[in-house]
Structures are given as structure tokens and as C-alpha cells.
Structure 1
């Protein structure tokens, strides 16, 4: 008997995309992800509610299945009958289904204070979705078991996927980056956010926090020993972050509203033990010409240049670190060797022994940009001491006058054909190298094309450049040309040429005006 050919199971993202594609003509493509996330949240919370309800029945507590406390004690939202997916699914073909969805979301938010300001407000009614197409989307979501894989960040995955589909249409400069999970896992394994305060100044959909909690749980820790603080500029993303954390029972202070971290810092006096961030790359005109000049976050350093926010983000994070705080964050490679105020700030960071590690990541790790980027590790206490990570105690050597450089461009595995991600083995290799370098009883060694521990004297001789290829030995590739620095140099030359051209144009216009010509 011939074997029946089985089709490869579609991912949740692919299934949702196909269903959303049917919305064409009745809603703008840029709205797809918000439609889907509202519904996937409704399905996810309902699935968790029904699972808890079933547990109560199996435990012989059937008389308690409509009592809120028996759900909240397990970090499960209690849902009124009109907010349950079974009710929405049953009424999917009704003319007023959009109103029923809005009512369901509003009721959930009203009954659960941790969701205040997180859910869409009359969103589905205002969109005017085609009823048949919305019903088709509901049918597709109804097929998804949102609890099938507890380790997957479903909300974040869906958000990331929909961002990739509309990255070009929505624009890459909006800062709506969902950091790939394998990068967040790497940051968590490096800085080990085990106990204390975690802060993210550009928290996006909250992915950093989700993976931090998973790190804690994997080391048999308790999320009760962590306090989470964040801020997000985009209102829809702010709502998503609150939603993403709430459905996992993760308490967080994301400020009273969506707000600009520079202009409206909602955590001015915060001192964090851990900072994890992926701020927008190379933001232009991020502050007014006369604004923030005397901001206390720049104390002891030059004022970051108005033309690029990279060092504004760095100093914001430095100002938020506690005495023993550690920060792991992503930046564009240009920040490793820029001139002007950036050079002066970078030099001061190195002289103050704050830079602990610089890690070059592979290209094609992000959905929304294909450039290679850098992971920075800053540490307020690089001196020798003893620290506990879970049940493990480590003795740290004094690396105060050194910086570890790592090049991961040859590491990673294919992901969804054209992307790269880190496997568990990759993360283990990098994290163990970093922690071995930190510890007194380890046998760390520099490895060509992978890692190098540079002294402050070496970095000073390289004029405070943090480009890894200036330090790591390369034996199998021609690395005589520093492509990162060369690109920065070419960009600077182009900017200078454009500036000179603009000046010449203005001078020429002035000459014509003096001759009496109107231009």
C-alpha cells in the first residue's frame, strides 16, 4: 500500500498571513498585525482560561469554575462568558461580530487591572471590516492551539513576522524592531539577569523581558525576585508590550503611557541591575537644537550629537546602571569608530572601564534590516569579586583594564531560508567563552577569527576604536582591510561632500541675489 503523502504543517505565522490576505480591500495592510494580535490575544487568554477551568473540574472543584480568585491565583485572567473565544467563535457569522469582539476585549481589560491601557479600544468596529472576511479569519485562528508549545513567544513571533511582511511599506526607520529570540537569549546568557531590576529603554513588544523570565526559570529562579521597568515610544507597540507581558503573568512598570525616552523619561531615578535593549539604529534629529543640553544623563561626558542618537542611548543606559549594573544592548556598527562627540564619549567610556565586551553579530538576523550589528556589554564593576548565579558561585578575575572582542559572523544556522539565528550550541559557545574570560579558575585563550582579550593600552594605541577586526587575529581570511572602519570613513566622506555641495549652492544663490536676480 502506497504511503500517503503528508503536507508540511504550516507555521502559525503562515496560517495567519494567508487568512489576513483575505482582508485585502477592507483594511490597510499595515493594520493586519494589529487585527491579528488583538484576536490572537483573545484566543490565547481564552485557551488559558479553559485549561484552568478544566483543571478545576478534574480536581473536583466544579463549583468554583466561575470564581475569579481561582484563576488569578494561577496568573490566568478570568473571562466573563461574553469574553470567551467559544462565544466569539459561535457568533463569528453574525452581523455584529466586530462589536462583540470589541466588547470582549473591553470587558477583559475592565476586569483585569494589569491590562489597563493594553487592549484595542473599539478598534474592530472602527475598522469597518468585511464581515465574511473577518469570519474567515476567526475560523483560521480557531484552528490554532496557542498552548501547544509553551516555550514559544507566540505574540512576539506573530508581531515579528508581520513586521517583516510590511517592513518596506511601513518604513524601516520607525523603530518597531522585534529583537529575534536567539539574540535575546544570547544577551540573557551573557549578562545573566537573575535577581534585581531589569530595564529596557526601548522595550518594543517586551521580548527582552519575556526571555529574561525564561532565563530565570531555566536556572530554577523565581520571577518574584525580578522587577521590570521599560519604556516605549509607539502607542500601538506599548499596548502590545503590556499585552505580551500580561498574558504571561509578568508584572512590569512601562510608565503611564507611550512616551519618548529622551524627552519624557518615565524612570528618571531608576538604578537597574540589568539593562537589555535594542534601541532604534542611527536615529536622526532625535532632539531639538537647544533641548537636553544640560540633561543629567550626560553628566561627565560630551553631549551626544543631534545627528545620531546611538550615544544618547548609550549614556541613557549608563546613567541608569546601579553600582554593579550590567547592560547588554544592540547598536549599528558605526558606533564602534565614529568621530567627533561620539569619539570623545567612547574614549571616556573606555577610560572609565565600563566597556566589558564587544560582539559582532552576523548579517540577516533581523527581519527589518540585513546589516551586521554589534552587541555591547557594559559593566559598572569589572573588578574581581564573587557572584552567585542560581546555585552556582563564581570567582571573577580583575578584567578592569581589558575588553573582550568576539566575532560571530561565521556562527549561526539558517532560519526561514534567508535569515540566520543562533542555535543552542552557538549560544553556549559564546556564553561559555565570555564567562571563562571573566573567571579566575578558567583557561581562557584567544582564538583566531573568534575572540581576543585586548588591554586598555592596546585600545588606546588603536585610538579608542572598538572595531573587533582591529584586535582579533585572522588567519584564513584577508582582514587587512578593516571593512567596518572603511565603510564609516566612506560615509563620513560622503556626508562632507554633500555638506560642501550645499554650502556651494547657498553661496551661489547669494551671488545671484546680490546681482539682483530672483531665485
Structure 2
């Protein structure tokens, strides 16, 4: 049975009364209700009997588990279930409300976030409630019939449909399952302790969406080690996605407090906890204007004791804020007398291309990248094919993070080009036209684990310093000549400084007449010294009865200057003055001396250049595409001419046939 399609078919009932983008507000909470109803049904009577005499929110769940063979941390104390509600149309709305309100608080929270009471009232007012309940009462979503993984797929399929209908921000709700599987594979590839019996592992997702990443991580860990004790924790901003994620986690037997609602950037949950694994797909290229005040305050007041000490990216894209947050939530390795007491955390985050290179040296983005590299947190970056996500076709990259690298990976960064590793889908789903096959996921994981660039052009290993550089400011001396040429005098008369003198008509006429004489005389020829021109200009103002302060006179003299490469260098305090118009910058590799670089790369072309060391900035970028670019020589002119002649010949032949 295609459960996703069956559930979606309830849209036939809603069509005409509701718009397509409103379907999700109705279908998703009913799907959650049908799932939880099916989960609780086998033990319902035992739970009711065990809870006799207790108030709704005072029932000890541990007692229920012991006496009712009930391993879930939620319950329902209503005599109704979905089928009995559907079988009594006369009191339908009343019974459904009562049924919902008899859930334990941790489940009621899910329906409250969906504003489910309003949905019930609205469906009843439109005479659709009975049809919708009957539809969902027909489907059996018990875990024995629909596994947790299948249920996750159903949720994702439904969410995708609603996201497309609502034109939601690309990639905001969920990540394609094969991308998640690759991310989880990468995280688990080097965890040698994972196969230890009854080992505890925690998985955290700060942008949990509907919980797909947490679910896949849970499944993969238990495939490797069925005895592992896995805790799944996450935070989600969107109430509907939060409701689905929480419902799924609750059904899995996770602690009800493990999924939090809220903005990870401004109100992070689990503040005093770190985790073994971190997974995240933050929204691509979304601004953080709404979080600006709180984030900037944390950056300023807490520095590196907070999450954003390394820097702040531009407000138009918050990707690198989520990267810093995820790193802050990974376990720090701790060492005891007997060795490592806590292994360092590992993370994987999906980002667009911008965080790799946006922002020059000294920018917030560059500072963040350098901090990540300096601390040796970055283990690998995997470039994915385009058109992998449902609502966007942009290039995406998986950053693999590790706070405790193996010895051979320390100080190294691996880049893997998987942009051509995909299979085309038979039918596009939104913007998603490509997918990773199981064999391709295995191959990318193998390339990562091998950590060997010798035999495969798709994997390259670099020293981390290769992505760090210094930007130097190269100055050249200012060379000027002064004189009373027509252009220079016009510039002086049009300047703000001349306007500030506020001359009378007589003074203005006298100054202009004197300057005109200089222009027409030999003195007007460019080439005079600054001192000579200054003396002559002062005499002009004195003769016209215009008082001029020395600072103002200096600025007016500057208007009579013109750059001349053959002129002498202008100096100040016996040092050459830099010509701002000739200023340039150069990026120098981190392991190279900046002065040696200047002598080799710059001075052969401009011998008078020097470095203004006060302006030198450290930078970092990861030019992923450049490292995998392969030059393809253009076609020869002879080959192009041959093809053109062939095409023209065919056109000529067809024209002759038409004319005939």
C-alpha cells in the first residue's frame, strides 16, 4: 500500500473549500494523530486500568510502563480512539476534542503547535470533519505495519508536497534521504568505538526540520550496533515541522524533552550539553536580520566563551553562524590519567558554495574559516551534484567536522569532488532531478575513509595552511608636479575649499584675474615645485585682500597638482607619501615571507613599491572548484571552419531544393 498517496488522497475531500497551500495544516496533524493512535491501541485498555484514580498529567509513566507493558513516555486516558470517534458522527467534534485533550501534555503540545483545535472547528463548520476522520481511521500506521523509517519517508513526502505548494524557502524543511545517509556514513566511518556493546551515543540537529537526519542516524547506528543506547536531540523553528519531528521522536521512545521549539541562533536549547554527533542542514542563504541584536550581543559580550567568537558573516547569509553553533555543540575530547575519557565530537553540515569563499581577508566570513582551520576542526568537504534538493538546484557541499582527528588527518583537509556522481531521476520532483545511488554513497564514503589522493583525482588532500593567506597592501609613491594650467585652476575654483572662503565680488574677480595671468604666462606650465606654487598662490590671495589659513592654503595648492611619473616623489617627514590611486593588494600564501614575495612578484614590474604592513590582514578561503578544474583547450580554427562549411553546405543544398 502506498501510504503517502493514500494520506494525500484526503486532499480530494478538502479541494474547493481549502487552497492547496492550506492542506498541510490539516493533513499533517491528522497523520500524526493516526500514527500515535495506532501505536497506543494495543496497550490502551491496560493503560486505562493502570491509570485509574490519577489526574491526567499526574500519571507516573514509569508505572504505566511496568504495569501495562507500555514503553512509551506518552499516553491517552480517553475511552475513545480514532475509530470510535469516526463511528459516532452525532457527537463527532465533541468526542474528537475530548480525545485530543486526554493525551499526556507532551503529546498535546504537538497538536497545540498545529492549532489543531482551530482546524477541528473549521472542518466542522465546513461539514468536512466526518469525511476526514473516516479517511484516516481506515489506515493502519502501527510500527508493525509501517516502520519508523517508512513513517519518516511518508512525513518527508507529505512535507515536500506542502512545501512546493507554499513556495517555502528552498531546503528549509528537509534534506533528501540519500544525502542524509551519506552524511551519517561519513560521521560513523571512523568511529572505531561504536561497535562496543551498549555504548552510548548522542545525536544533535540544531535545524531538525521533521527529524529526518535524527531518524537516519538512529537507524544507521543500530544497524552497526543493535545494543547501542542512542539519544536523539534537536531544535526546530517551524512549529509544524517541530510537531512532526517531536511526534516521530516520541514514537521512537526518545525523551519528550529531546526536541525543542525555537530559534537556535537566539534561544538555543541544551545550552549545557555537547554531543557525540552533530548533523545540520541550515536554510541556504537566508538572512539573520531578525536575530541580529541577540547574535551581535553574544559575539561582543561573550567572545570565544560563546558561540560566535570567531566572527559574524554578513547579514544576508547566516550559514556560518550555524556552522559555529554546530562546532560549539560537539564534545570536546577530555583526557584522564588512563587516556581519553571522552571522545571528541564529529559533525556534518550541508552548506551552499558561499561559505567556502565569500568575504576577503579580515571579513567575518574569512575570520570564521581561519578559526575553523586554525583549530583543525575541518576534516573534509564533499562537493555534491547540483539539482539534489527539492526546491533548489544550487551547488551544495558537506563539511565534515571533527574535534579529535586521527593522527594522519591532523593538520590536513580532504576535498572530494562528487559533483559528477549521481543518477538522473526518471521524473523530477520539484527542482530535484538527480539522486545518489546506494553504490555512489558507498563509493564516496570509501574515498573519504581511504584518505588517499594518489590514485583518484576525485579526492585531494591538502595541508590546512594551503587555504590560509595574507593580504598585503602594496603602495607606490606619489609623484606630483604643480602649476597654474587651465584645468588645475578650474579645479581650484570649483573646489569646496575655495567656496568656503566666501569672497566678495571684487575679491573673486581679483583672484580670478591673477590666476588667469598665471595660466597665460610661462609660470602656468606644469613642472613648478610645490613651494613655488604655494608662494605664488598666497601672493594672489594677499593682493586680493583675502585672508587664508595655512591648512586651507595647503588644500587649495593640492588642487594645482597633477600626477607625473617622471616627477620627484612627494615626501612627508622624510618618508614617501603613498599614491592612493596606485594602491593594490596581493594575496600571499601563508607559508611565504611577504617581503620575499614582494621582491619576486611585484618589484620586477614596479621597483618603487613597498608594503604597508599596518594594513596586512590574515585571510582564509577554500577554492573548491579551482582544485578540481581541468583545462580543456579550445577547438582549433580549422576544425571550427570545417564544421561551419559543412553546415553552410547543408543549408545551401536545402535552399536549392526549395527553389527547384
TM-score > 0.5 by shorter chain: yes
Deviation at 1:243, TM superposition (A): 1.0
Residues 266 and 65 of structure 1, relative CA distance in 2, 3 Å threshold:
closer
For residues 63 and 229 of structure 1, what CA distance do their matches in structure 2 show?
30
* Stretch deviating more after TM superposition (12-21 or 325-334): 12-21
Deviation at 1:20, TM superposition (A): 1.4
Give the secondary-structure state (helix, strand or coil) at the position aligned to 2:8.
helix
Pick one of 204, 208, 217 that aligns with 1:212: 217
The corresponding residue for 1:394 is: none
The corresponding residue for 2:174 is: 178
Pick one of 464, 468, 472 that aligns with 1:456: 464
Give the secondary-structure state (helix, strand or coil) at the position aligned to 1:301.
coil
Conserved 8 A contact 1:19-1:137: yes
Conserved 8 A contact 1:272-1:325: yes
Pick one of 627, 640, 648 that aligns with 1:471: 627
Conserved 8 A contact 2:314-2:365: yes
Residue 310 (str. 1) matches residue 319 (str. 2): yes
Deviation at 1:338, TM superposition (A): 0.6
Q: How does 1:76-225 map to 2 (within 5 A)?
A: 78-80=75-77, 82-91=79-88, 94-108=89-103, 110=104, 114-115=106-107, 117-120=109-112, 121-129=116-124, 133-146=128-141, 147=143, 150-151=146-147, 153-173=149-169, 176-192=172-188, 194=194, 195-222=200-227, 225=229
For residues 221 and 164 of structure 2, what CA distance do their matches in structure 1 show?
36
For residues 65 and 101 of structure 1, what CA distance do their matches in structure 2 show?
18
Residue 337 (str. 1) matches residue 337 (str. 2): no
Conserved 8 A contact 1:163-1:367: no
Unaligned ranges ≥5, structure 2: 51-63, 195-199, 333-343, 469-588, 591-618, 635-660
For residues 447 and 272 of structure 2, what CA distance do their matches in structure 1 show?
34
Deviation at 1:77, TM superposition (A): 5.5
Conserved 8 A contact 2:313-2:321: yes
Give the secondary-structure state (helix, strand or coil) at the position aligned to 1:173.
coil
Residues 115 and 232 of structure 1, relative CA distance in 2, 3 Å threshold:
same
Residues 86 and 125 of structure 1, relative CA distance in 2, 3 Å threshold:
closer
Q: TM-score, normalised by structure 1?
A: 0.74
Pick one of 24, 27, 40 that aligns with 2:15: 24
Give the alignment's Cα RMSD to 1 decimal: 3.3
Give the secondary-structure state (helix, strand or coil) at the position aligned to 2:111.
coil
Pick one of 230, 251, 258 that aligns with 2:261: 258
Deviation at 1:272, TM superposition (A): 2.0
Deviation at 1:136, TM superposition (A): 3.6
* Stretch deviating more after TM superposition (324-333 or 279-288): 279-288
Q: How does 1:221-232 map to 2 (within 5 A)?
A: 221-222=226-227, 225-232=229-236
Count the aligned residue pairs: 435
The corresponding residue for 1:354 is: 377
Give the secondary-structure state (helix, strand or coil) at the position aligned to 1:172.
coil
The corresponding residue for 1:325 is: 345
Conserved 8 A contact 2:24-2:162: no
Deviation at 1:411, TM superposition (A): 2.4
Deviation at 1:358, TM superposition (A): 0.6
* Stretch deviating more after TM superposition (454-463 or 343-352): 454-463
For residues 136 and 307 of structure 2, what CA distance do their matches in structure 1 show?
48
For residues 71 and 188 of structure 1, what CA distance do their matches in structure 2 show?
36
Higher-Rg member (1/2): 2
Deviation by residue 1:335-379 (Cα, 9 ceiling, x = unmatched) = 111113212211221232111111122233322323231111111
For residues 382 and 327 of structure 2, what CA distance do their matches in structure 1 show?
18
Deviation at 1:106, TM superposition (A): 2.2
Conserved 8 A contact 1:231-1:259: yes
* Stretch deviating more after TM superposition (269-278 or 141-150): 141-150
Residues 371 and 77 of structure 1, relative CA distance in 2, 3 Å threshold:
same
Deviation by residue 1:406-462 (Cα, 9 ceiling, x = unmatched) = 22222234457114333332222222222232xxxxx774522x3222222443459
Deviation at 1:105, TM superposition (A): 2.4
Pick one of 17, 35, 40 that aligns with 2:31: 40
For residues 386 and 148 of structure 2, what CA distance do their matches in structure 1 show?
24
For residues 170 and 422 of structure 2, what CA distance do their matches in structure 1 show?
27
Q: How does 1:272-421 map to 2 (within 5 A)?
A: 272-287=275-290, 290-295=293-298, 296=302, 297-298=306-307, 300-323=309-332, 324-339=344-359, 340-384=363-407, 398-415=408-425, 417-418=427-428, 419=432, 420-421=434-435
Conserved 8 A contact 1:198-1:274: yes
Residues 47 and 300 of structure 1, relative CA distance in 2, 3 Å threshold:
closer
Residue 423 (str. 1) matches residue 437 (str. 2): yes
For residues 326 and 46 of structure 2, what CA distance do their matches in structure 1 show?
51
Q: How does 1:496-507 map to 2 (within 5 A)?
A: none
The corresponding residue for 1:270 is: 273
Give the secondary-structure state (helix, strand or coil) at the position aligned to 1:329.
strand
Unaligned ranges ≥5, structure 1: 1-8, 54-61, 385-397, 438-442, 481-519
Residues 383 and 123 of structure 1, relative CA distance in 2, 3 Å threshold:
same
The corresponding residue for 1:505 is: none
Conserved 8 A contact 2:171-2:390: no
Conserved 8 A contact 1:191-1:328: yes
Residues 106 and 458 of structure 1, relative CA distance in 2, 3 Å threshold:
same
Deviation at 1:204, TM superposition (A): 1.4
For residues 181 and 341 of structure 1, what CA distance do their matches in structure 2 show?
32
